[in-house]
Amino acid sequence: MMAQNNMKKRVVIFTELVGFFLMCILLAIAGNIRAANSEVRSKENFDFNWQFHKGDIAMKLVARVGQGGITDINVPIITTKDTVIDYTNFESSKALNPVDWKELNLPHDWAVEGTFVNDNTLGSQPAGSGYLPTGIGFYRKEFEIPEQDKGKKISIEFDGIFRNSTVWVNGHLMGNHKSGYTPSNYDLTDVLRYGDEGKNAILVKVDATQAEGWWYDGAGIYRHVWLIKTDQLHVARFGTYVTTPSISKDAATVSIKTTLKNEYKTKLNVTLVSKIIDSKGNLLSTETSTQTIAPFYPLEIAQTALIKKPLLWSPETPSLYKVLSEVFKDGNIVDIYETTFGVRTVEINKNGVFLNGKLCPVKGTCNHQDFAGIGVALPDKINWYKLKLLKEMGSNGYRGSHHPPTPELLDMCDSMGILVLDENRHLSSSEENLKDLETLLYRDRNHPSIFMWSMENEEAIQGTVTGARILETMVETTHRIDPTRKVTAAMNHARNDGGYAEVLDVVGYNYGDKQLAYVRDREAHPERVMFCTEGTSYVSTRGEYVNSWWPQTCSNSILWQPNWGPYPGEDWADIVKYPYLGGYFVWTGFDYRGEPTPFQWPGVSSQFGIMDVCGFPKDGYYAYKAAWDDEPLVHIFPHWDWPDKVGDSIKVHCYTNCEEVELFLNGKSVGKQKAVPYAKLIWNLVYNPGKLEARGYKAGKVVTKDIVETTTAPAQVAMNSDVSTIKADGCDVVVIKVAINDAKGRVVPTANNLVTFTIEGPGKIIGTGNGNPKSHEPDKASQRMAFNGYCMVLVQSDKATGEIRLKASSDNLKSSEVVINSK
């Protein structure tokens, strides 16, 4: 059996390598496509070389053109042949003092750079924002547009700014966008300067003083920015809709709807060629349509294609295809637009969630978007890293709580095989909020990973007639834009009141295990379609085994506060017992800033996570891995370093998916127990230092084991990098785990040594963390205290190649060095 397990691991590694190489092939294909696109459409990363000013700047005439100052390049404005009005002397121009501005690249979150303040008025509720102030900030960038771009349509896309952003370009007020979670776009064509006309300046004011959630929202331009250039005839923003209305083993029908925009002044005859490409670059289908399009008029063209013997998308086999939309004018290609899609069926009914005709329980986690060291300004690599950790645990589902995720994360879920519950931020049918909902739907509806839309989370007016009217408008809007997916709302009360649930396709149950609400409602409403949108909320501090109001620790082994959460893994028993529930999203995959339940100050981070804010697993991680993964597992805890407990009684806990587990202390068996699925095993022992070993049995044979040993004093710093090579693109990141080990290389589970980092070469430290939910250390620093044996450092590449050398040292401990090749 052990040999079979080793073979299984080798197969898994081989499969991961195959997946990696397939991803490389897709990237190469995409690179060739982008090269072809560059002549007709470009999407330029606009993240680099910004200036940032923290604090407000008085701007008395926000909409008057030609003031110069920080909204422009301070160029003279010529009004007649004889008169020159030079606005460079206006008061606003004094704001551009280099001392007050710092240069940086995006994404950026200025709140995480601040100092913790014991002020319960920060955020929307006491402790909600993690005691980090927000405020107002300005971003400014100067750039040039070449002469040959004159005549193109040029726009700028902000994937996410938190929040209430106002944009000026060359002194012109372009607009305002309130939401901190939906993208914004501005057409810059008319106000730009081309070639010898001069430089351009963009100014973005960000007012993050008002929170949108009861968690850490961050502050700043925290997602990517893109400069998009197209012909006047082009595919519209989010202008394709690709579905697969008919799927069989032999063929899949592909419906392609493409919206074109003609911003020329004349009527045009246009040809649209839609090509379907597989992951290897093979051309599978070509559809051609020719139509007339009026000036300044959007035109939707519908086409139907066929894929023979389609590869179905699933968590196990996330096969992807592309549609290349080629637009021709007068026989010349003027635009190429790419759309990634997958072939799969999703049916959510009163019997559960079915993917490609098979029951597919969703093994999900709810997640906010922040991470240690960097707040909400996550490089793409960190989003990928978090998803990788969840996938390794056995999870196949992700709920963006409680807002739309960044688009790159959805791309990753498509390619990694993770089902997504895509959630709208607010329950509102106002014009502004419906526009945000529509943007979310148009942006995301082609992603095969998204299996359902969520309209809201735990809004106070759930179960009211007013709430039902608002919800109905939102559901109808969603069905109009995407009739292929069902709609839910994450409800924690009043599920049977006000006609609210009747508006939904699927009724979402947050904490429906309380009084077995989803069982009682099943009996009362047998036709109701249900899904467990959220549950558990087990709080634990990594490496801690005592519940204490001070020093604010939550045990990994004993239930405490809040009183609504079961032990990790026990929640899954109901999904197995009641498959009609469809699956489950655990609150939460990771700890997150803010909401430090059940504490407030000095607590600054939540403790709900299966992993801490750095991604270090807590003991509950292994409960879910045991429930969601087939590989044999035993995990015993607590650690075995208790010098003050020699001779005292102590409980040893175990998560397992084996049939039986036998526990040994210093080589002597202390008993074998039969496992109960999804429940902990517990032994009562008398503590003696040494070696604790658990052996897992299946069919009477040992298939796995776990060992915990008493360690000695800290002796050395050890580092483990997740990769040895990164891209020299100024974006890529390496995650380096740091451990405090004893002389035998064992992690000392109570170590809290201060670790100092020094770096040489083409890279920089962008953040540190340790998972301590009450740590007030700065995240932007070159040192970090270990917390219960571990800390972490994030290193980002520059745009130069070479070796990056990171050294970690601590007083009286042997230091460590890691070398990363930047290529």
Residues labelled as active-site residues: 458, 534
Q: What is the CA radius of gyration of the chain?
A: 28
One-letter amino acid of 52 = F
The rounded distance, in Å, linking the Cα atoms of 430 and 324 is 36
The rounded distance, in Å, linking the Cα atoms of 382 and 377 is 10
φ, ψ (nearest 5 deg) of residue 603: -60, 135
Question: 39 in helix, strand or coil?
Answer: coil
One-letter amino acid of 602 = P
Say how many C-beta atoms besides its own lie within 10 A of residue 175's C-beta: 12
Question: 315 in helix, strand or coil?
Answer: coil
The rounded distance, in Å, linking the Cα atoms of 293 and 239 is 15
φ, ψ (nearest 5 deg) of residue 812: 65, 10
Contact residues for 57 (Cβ-Cβ < 8 A; gap 6+): 70, 92, 95, 138, 205
Say how many C-beta atoms besides its own lie within 10 A of residue 126's C-beta: 15
Contact residues for 310 (Cβ-Cβ < 8 A; gap 6+): 244, 247, 251, 252, 319, 343
Element containing residue 819 per DSSP (H, E): strand 816-822
CA 159 vs CA 7, 156, 165, 221, 424: distances in Å: 43, 10, 12, 9, 15
Strand order in the sheet with 649-656: 634-637, 649-656, 681-686
Q: Record the tokens describing residue 588, joined without a space.
A: 């939460």
CA 415 vs CA 317, 384, 418, 431: distances in Å: 9, 11, 8, 34
The rounded distance, in Å, linking the Cα atoms of 678 and 584 is 14
The rounded distance, in Å, linking the Cα atoms of 23 and 767 is 28
Sort strands 268-277 and 225-230 into parallel, antiparallel or unpaired.
unpaired
| Residue corresponding to tokens 């707040």 | 375
- Kindly report the CA angle at 262 between 256 and 267, in degrees rounded to 5? 115
DSSP string across 263-290 = -SSS-EEEEEEEEEE-TT--EEEEEEEE
Spatial CA neighbour of 238 closest among 458, 56, 418, 410? 410
Spatial CA neighbour of 398 closest among 631, 589, 238? 589
Spatial CA neighbour of 450 closest among 242, 699, 738? 242
Contact residues for 344 (Cβ-Cβ < 8 A; gap 6+): 244, 247, 312, 313, 314, 355, 356, 448
